[in-house]
Amino acid sequence: MTQLLPALPTVDKHYVDRGRYPRGVAFMDGQYVPMSEAKISVLDWGFLHSDATYDTVHVWNGRFFRLDLHLDRFFQGVERLRMKLPYDREKITSILNDCVALSGHKSAYVEMICTRGSSPTFSRDPRQAENRFMAFAVPFGSVANEEQLERGLHVAISDTVRIPPKSIDPSIKNYHWLDLVKGLFEAYDMGAETALILDANGHVAEGPGFNVFVVEDGSLRTPAFGVLPGITRRTVFDLCAEMGLPATATDVSRAKIKAADEVFITSTAGGIMPVTRIDDSAIANGRVGPVTRRLMNLYWQKHDDPAWSTAVIYRSSE
């Protein structure tokens, strides 16, 4: 049963000053602080062992996008890692809102985190650790910049293999990124802008913080094995259903992705982002394809739809 902590401090009106907190606001140990003051103990297992789960949601034009889905995944991850949150869902929703409201940002990258914490007696028994919740909101940043979104990204496929799901459950969002970082450096060495790495069977898996889709003859496919089921990935399935486009989660080989009509990646940090070059080869004619553009346009239109988004409640600065 969730144990509720004392009520949060009242949000002062003077906090809503976008000039005071340009780098964002964090919630730590029951209080809101500027990002520069957000710190965790070096003894926290989240730091020492990557023993943590988290989720990220973005705010665009003052609205959270698909917040409920992000909260669902976060709570599922916490439960499956046998952690306990000090707040219920309603309170965490309020905390996320206040982080954004205090920062004053209308477009933000918002993260909620639960770490294993540490044991007061320095025990190695994870059951004795006091789990910690924290959250923050910082200015929105995209995997791809404006110029890359227009021309399409250059991606390299690394031979690095993603941590197998029998070792780390990929459906629990986590900080185990050394395989992704290794792949990213290999991509840089090949002159690319980001990377895709492989699953244990040699098929394409995912990249550092994003899923990938291929378009072939009007049908979409995305890797199914060993990947995080991203919220933006799910959103693409929902958009495809609305547009009448077939979309399937299945194996995607190196050869298949290079021979695709279109390729794009998906992430909360950037949405739907086109890929026009993989390794040394252009995808089709090397330009952003029509299916990708239709999906990109509809994706951003949905940000103003109350069925897909939730308004941030900003406090008046007067």
Give residue-wise pLDDT tens across range 172-185: 999 999 999 999 99
Tokens describing residue 271: 């949405």
Quote the CA–CA distance of 296 and 225 in Å, as a whole number. 25
E strands, 35-167, in order: 52-60, 63-65, 108-118, 130-139, 153-161
Q: Which of 230, 223, 242, 155 is nearest to 191 (CA)?
A: 155
**Identity of residue 207:** G
- What is d(CA 284, CA 70) in angstroms, rounded to the nearest whole number? 34
Sign of CA dihedral 237, 240, 244, 245: negative
User: 144, 103, 110, 87: which is closest to 265 by C-alpha?
Assistant: 144
* pTM (predicted TM-score): 0.91
pLDDT tens, 37-73? Answer: 999 999 999 999 999 999 999 999 999 999 999 999 9
* DSSP track, 251-290: ---HHHHHT-SEEEEEETTTEEEEEEEETTEESTTSS--H
Q: Which domains does the chain have, with CATH numbers?
A: 13-139 (3.30.470.10), 146-303 (3.20.10.10)
Per-residue pLDDT tens digits for 247-285: 999 999 999 999 999 999 999 999 999 999 999 999 999
Nearest to 278 by CA among 208, 200, 212, 218: 212
